[in-house]
Amino acid sequence: MTARRPRAAAAALAVLLLFAGAAAGSELSDDLQARRARVMERLGPDAMLLVWSAPVQRYSADVNYEYRQDSNLYYLTGLTEDGTMLVLMPGNAAAREILFVRDRDPVEEHWHGRRLSAAEAAAATGIDTVLASSRFEPFVAAMLAGQPYGPVTTAAGARYFAAVAAGRARLAIVNDNGRGSADGPRPAVEFAGRLQQRFRAVQVVDATPIFEDLRTIKTPYERRLLTRSLEISSEAQRAGMRAARPGAYEYEVKAAIEAVHRARGAVSWSYPSIVASGPHATVLHYPGGDRRMQAGDLLLVDAACNYGYMSGDITRTYPVGGRFSPSQRELYELVLRAQQAGIEAAARQGATLASIHAATVAVIKAGLLALGLITNVDGDQYKIWYTHAGTHYIGIDVHDPGDRTRPLVPGMAFTIEPGLYIRQSALDALPATPENAAFIERVRPAVQKYLDLGVRIEDSFLLDEAGLRDLSAGVPKTIDEIEAFLARRPASSDDEGR
């Protein structure tokens, strides 16, 4: 009997995990269906929306970058496979949601892993109509020509076909992908352009505002995933603080952080982890990690994880040696006061991301004047040292889309992240004018005092029905908390060798 108990316990645990997984899958499927319904309500019956999966990106030779799904396709399907397309036709009597997935290929799966079957994709997404991706372009062309195709019969698509015949049909795509101006047009834009040349009566419209509006408000399911994402990220930040010490390398801190991400089931990082010591802390998106840290350095760590395609954002700045110097303390306290002002602003009725940022700016201006780093608070001198917005939305993307002037309501998630970066290059880049020369002369002593110090403090917040929640509060933040935590760091076995 006793020998069988572990097997019985294991079997019971397997059953519980199976039911838990099925319940989570069902909850996601239900949430996805509700999201698609909200999008279709915004589209209207005369529109057809096309959403593509992200393309595979080549790293080198025959090696690809790790795949990351298009955020809007994930928002509507929860699928992470490439070669996937979604069509929504709100006006249809049947087949309003049509999913296209790649055919399974045993040879391709031998090299790259098993793909979902049509039945599995339907079960995962809650979309009943799943077709092979090879049928996508013929299907879209048939719809724009007002002709039945596959599951969309004359009766099922009567509303859209009537709109095509009347010249009021719309083809909706996501046009704005946030890429740089040097990038070429998205394949979706090119595809829509070709279709419009062929079907001139159909109007191509941008669905970006629909997604920006809806994704700004997180569902209860998304809120739980985001909360878990920040729990893991907070644990990882603490692991990074324990790994930081004089003589260690930046990459050791990064490795400690990202090990926690994967160990706790995160998909990956939310963004490439930034571990920047000494003067590197003045580089906002410092890409390196090979510098050996010194006892007098500040270390700026901006790192968080992607858990279930929900991404938070946390930054902490702390002294590698364990204690802040007087100048480090002065700059840090100013940034911390600015963040607190932003938190208080966020809790006010009618707050917006823009008003939160303005609250941080007011504190930063006064503080920089007191420290001698600017000469007046009326203009934009503060932007020399405070070079980014103090807030942004978070969610499926770490910089989730949304209107910064929109009043906050329950379900919105965002960061508050003031920062100051004191670098000689900021002064060197100023235009050579008498006014700038006088300014540089006046602030020169203060710049020398705080030179090469970079401080950013960032937390992720969720506004829910009970109020504002700091999802990253588990990471030490005040000077006393940080110094006490660092004092408890375990001794490294190779400290003597350093």
CA distance to 170, 254, 311, 422, per residue, from 300 (Å): 48, 11, 19, 13
- β-sheet bridge partners, residue 414: 393, 461
Length of the chain: 498
Q: What average pLDDT score do residues 67-91 get? A: 97
Class of the domain covering 27-214: alpha beta
Question: 188: closest CA among 210, 205, 202?
Answer: 205
Q: How far apart are CA 480 and CA 121, in angstroms?
A: 51
**Structure-block tokens of residue 308:** 């279930």
What is the pLDDT, as a whole number, of residue 15?
40
DSSP H/E element including 182? none
* Structure tokens given for 120: 């599995």
d(CA 125, CA 147): 27
Between residues 182 and 231, the one the model is more confident about? 231
Place of tokens 């400290």: 495
Question: For residue 460, what are the CA distances in angstroms to 144, 332, 391?
Answer: 44, 19, 10
Q: Confidence band (pLDDT; 50, 70, 90) for 23?
A: low
Helices (H), 78-128: 106-112, 118-125
Count of CB atoms situated within 10 Å of the CB of 90: 21
Which contacts qualify for 467-471: CB closer than 8 Å, 24 or more apart? 467/347, 468/343, 468/346, 468/347, 470/343, 471/226, 471/227, 471/230, 471/231, 471/234, 471/312, 471/413
Determine the pLDDT at residue 177. Answer: 52
One-letter amino acid at 382 equals Y
- Whether 18 has a pLDDT exceeding 60, the answer reads no
Q: Which of 25-34, 80-89, 423-432, 472-481 has the lowest mean pLDDT?
A: 25-34
pLDDT per position as a tens digit, 170-203: 999 998 655 444 455 577 888 888 888 899 889 9
Does pLDDT of 245 surpass 80? yes
**Mean pLDDT over residues 239-244, rounded?**
98
The pLDDT score that the predictor gives to residue 224 is 97
Domain ranges of the chain: 27-214, 217-487
How large is the average pLDDT for residues 61-90? 96
Give start and end residues of each alpha helix (H) in 64-116: 71-77, 106-112
The span from the CA of 362 to the CA of 245, in Å, is 35
**Amino acid residing at 391:** T
Write the pLDDT tens digit of every residue in 408-440: 999 999 999 999 999 999 999 999 999 999 999
Sheet arrangement for strand 413-416: 391-393, 413-416, 459-464, 467-470
- How many C-beta atoms lie closer than 10 Å to residue 450's C-beta? 21
Nearest alpha carbon to residue 456 among 307, 282, 340: 282
Measured CA to CA, the distance from residue 40 to residue 267 in angstroms comes to: 29
Q: Domain spanning 217-487 has what CATH number?
A: 3.90.230.10
Cα–Cα distance, 357 to 363 (Å, whole number): 10
